[in-house]
Amino acid sequence: MVQVKKLLSKSQFDILYMAWKNRDGASGQIGLSAAEYLVSAGLLSPKGKITPAGVDALGPYKVTNAVIMAAGKSSRFAPLSFEKPKGLIRVKGEVMIERQILQLQAAGICDITLVVGYKKEKMFYLADKFHVKIVVNDDYYRYNNPSSLIRVADQLDNTYICSSDDYFSENVFEPYVYAAYYPVFYVPGRTDEYCAESDKTGRITKVTIGGTDAWAMVGHVYFSREFSRAFVRILKKEYSSSLTKSQLWEDLFVRYLPQLEMYARRFDSSQIKEFDSLNELREFDSSYVTDADSQIFRNIGKVLSCRDQDITDLRLLKGGLTNLSFVFLCRGGKYVYRHPGTGTEAYLNRAGEACSTKIARELGLDDTVLFIDPEEGWKISRFIEPARTLDCRSAVQTEQALKIIRTLHRSGRQVPYRFDLWIEIGRLGKALAEHDCGEQKCLKSLDDMIARLHRCAARERVPECLCHCDCCVSNFLIGENGKMNLIDWERSGMSDPACDLGALLASSGSTMEQAETLVKQYLRRRPERQELCRCFGYAAASAYCRLLQEIVQGMVGPSADRHLDDLKQCAEFYGRSALAGYRE
C-alpha cells in the first residue's frame, strides 16, 4: 500500500480528526486559522465536513493493529495469579483482557495479537471467541517483556502496545493517532512508577523510576510507524544483551531516549487502572473482599477455619526456584502459603515431602508447618518473625544446625523413597541441553569434574539414612526465641548423609580449614581423609546442581551472572580438593 506522506500539523490533525468523528452529525461554518489549510487543500468543506481527500489525509495516522502482552506471571498479584494469568481475572464482572479486546474492536482495531506464556493454555480460547492471533513466548519465565516484543517485531507499525492486566474505565483507544505517546497522570506525593518529564511540545525528555508530585507512566502505549521502525532496530541490536532481556522495554526506551520520539499524553487517574496486588483490587472491586474466587483462599479457609475477608495484608515472598509463596494475616496470626511451581510435580515427590515434614515435626526439627497437601503440594506454615538464617561464622548457630542434621541422620526413621543428587544433576543437564541455553560449552570442564566425583563416590558403600537433601543455610530459620527450624523438605528422602553436609558446606562460605572443622564437628571426631573427600565431593555436586537449576530456571542480569559465577567457583573449589584427596 502506498503511504500518504504526513503533512498535517498537530492542530490540523486534531481538527480533521474531530471532523471525521462528527462526519455523520451536524456541522457549521468554521473559521480559518488552523483550519485554513484544511479548507484550501480540499480536506474540509467550508462548513467543516470532512471530504474524501480529508479521509485520505488521515491515512498515515490510522492505527493498524494492537499487541497485548499477556505472557508474564504477575507474581505480585498473589495468590490469584498463581492460579491463572492476571489478564483472566474478573473485575466488576468482566474478564480484564476480554474487556480490553472489546474496547479495541469498538475503536475499529481488529488486528489484535496476544503474546502469551505463563499458563498459556488458559488463554487459547480467546483466539476463537474474539478472532485474535496468539503468539507464544516460551521465555516468559526467565526474561522480561522485551522477549514478548521481539516475537512480534515484524508486526509493529502504527500499533497499540497493551498489557493484559490494564483496566480502562472508559474506552481510551482511537482509530487515528497523531504521534507515539505514553499515557501519564499526575500523582501527588510519592510514587514508585516510572515518571516522565517532557518539553513544551510534550515530547518525553527524561524518565525516572519513582518520583514525588510527578507524572506517572501507566497504561497502554502507542507506537507510531516512525517510532516502531526506530525501536525495532534498537531492540534487535540490543536483544542479545542480558541487561535488555532482564529489564522492561521502557528501560531500553530510556537508554535511547534522544533517538526515540515519544510524547506524554495526559489522562485522568480514574481512566486507567493497574492493580499490582489483591489488596488494590479489593479497594476497587469490593466483591473480592468476601469472595476472592480462589481455590487458594478456600484451602486457607479449610485449614484456619476462616472466611475470605479474614485473609488480609497479602505480600509476595521472594520467589524460590521451585515454588511461589506469600505472607498473609488471619485473625491476628501471620502465615505463609506455599504454592507449588508449575511442572514441579514431575521431579518433586510431594507425598514424600509431607511424610518427611511429619517426621521432622515429631523429631522437633521443624514445627512451622500447619498443613501440607500430599497430592497437590500446597502448604501453610507459621511465619517466623523476625527470622534470621544460619550464619556459619557463629559457633553457636553452627552447632545448632549440626545437631539438627545429626538428629535426623541418627533417628533411624526410614521412608519409602530416596533422593539421589547425581541423578538430579543428570536431569538438569538434560533439561539444559533441551533449552539450548548456550551454557553447555562453558560448563564442560566442570561437568567432567562432577562426573569424576560421581565415579569416586559410587565406589564407596555408605549406608543411607533419612536426609533433608537441601541443607543450605537459608533453610535454617532462627526465630526471636532462638529456636532453629530446618524448613522446606521437598527434596528429602533416603540418601548419603554427606549430601546434607555438602549442601551446608556449599552455602556456608567457609574456607577449607573451616570446612574441615565443620565436618569434624558433625562427626564429633577427626574425619578420615576419605570422609572429607566424600563431603567435599558432595559440596561440589550441591553447588553444581544449584548452578544448573538456576540456569535452567532462567536467571538473567548482572547480579545473576555474579551469583552463577560464585556457584561455579564453589563447585570448582570443593571439587578440586575432593579429587586431590581421592588421588592421595
Written as one string, the DSSP assignment of 19-73 is HHHTTTS------STHHHHHHHTTSB-TTSPBPHHHHHHTGGGB--EEEEEE---
What is the spatial distance between Cα 307 and Cα 301, in angstroms, rounded to a whole number? Answer: 6
What is the spatial distance between Cα 452 and Cα 581, in angstroms, rounded to a whole number? Answer: 13
Q: Using H for helix, E for strand and C for coil, what is the string for 385-445?
A: CCCEECCCCCHHHHHHHHHHHHHHHCCCCCCCCECCHHHHHHHHHHHHHHHCCCCCCCCHH
Confidence of residue 100 (pLDDT cuts 50, 70, 90): very high
Mean per-residue pLDDT, 404-414: 97
CA angle 241, 245, 250 (to 5 degrees): 110
**If you search the block for the grid coordinates 535511547, which residue do you land on?**
256
Domain parsing of the chain, residue ranges = 10-61, 65-274, 294-383, 389-583
Of 26-30, 259-263, 503-507, the poorest mean pLDDT is in 26-30
What is the spatial distance between Cα 473 and Cα 243, in angstroms, rounded to a whole number? Answer: 29
Sheet of 484-486: strand order equals: 388-389, 476-478, 484-486
| Closest-CA residue to 408 (of 469, 458, 457, 461) | 469
**Percent above pLDDT 70 for the chain:** 93
Please, which residues bridge with residue 196 across strands? 207
Sign of CA dihedral 176, 180, 182, 184: negative
Task: Share the mean pLDDT of the chain.
Answer: 91
Mean per-residue pLDDT, 250-256: 97
pLDDT of 20 > 80? The answer is: yes
Confidence of residue 33 (pLDDT cuts 50, 70, 90): low
What is the spatial distance between Cα 368 and Cα 250, in angstroms, rounded to a whole number? Answer: 42
Global pTM reads: 0.83
Of 214-218, 276-280, 282-286, 397-401, the poorest mean pLDDT is in 276-280
Count of C-beta atoms within a 10 Å radius of residue 39:
19
| DSSP element (H, E) containing 547 | helix 529-553
Rama region for 212: left / alpha / beta (φ>0; ψ in -120 to 50; rest): beta
pLDDT of 435 > 70? The answer is: no
Instruction: Give the rounded distance of the alpha carbon of 6 from its chain centre.
Output: 41
Please, which residues bridge with residue 68 across strands? 114, 162
Choices 3.40.50.300, 3.90.1200.10, 1.10.287.3510, 3.30.70.2740: CATH for 389-583: 3.90.1200.10
Mean per-residue pLDDT, 31-48: 80
* Phi, psi for 89 (deg, rounded to 5): -75, 140
What is the spatial distance between Cα 518 and Cα 46, in angstroms, rounded to a whole number? Answer: 92
Domain 294-383: give its CATH code. 3.30.200.20
* Pairing between β-strand 263-266 and β-strand 181-198 as defined by DSSP bridges: parallel
For 4, half-sphere exposure in the C-beta direction (CA atoms, 13 angstrom radius) is: 13
| pLDDT at residue 441, rounded to an integer | 64
The structural architecture, per CATH, of the domain 65-274 is Alpha-Beta Complex (3.90)
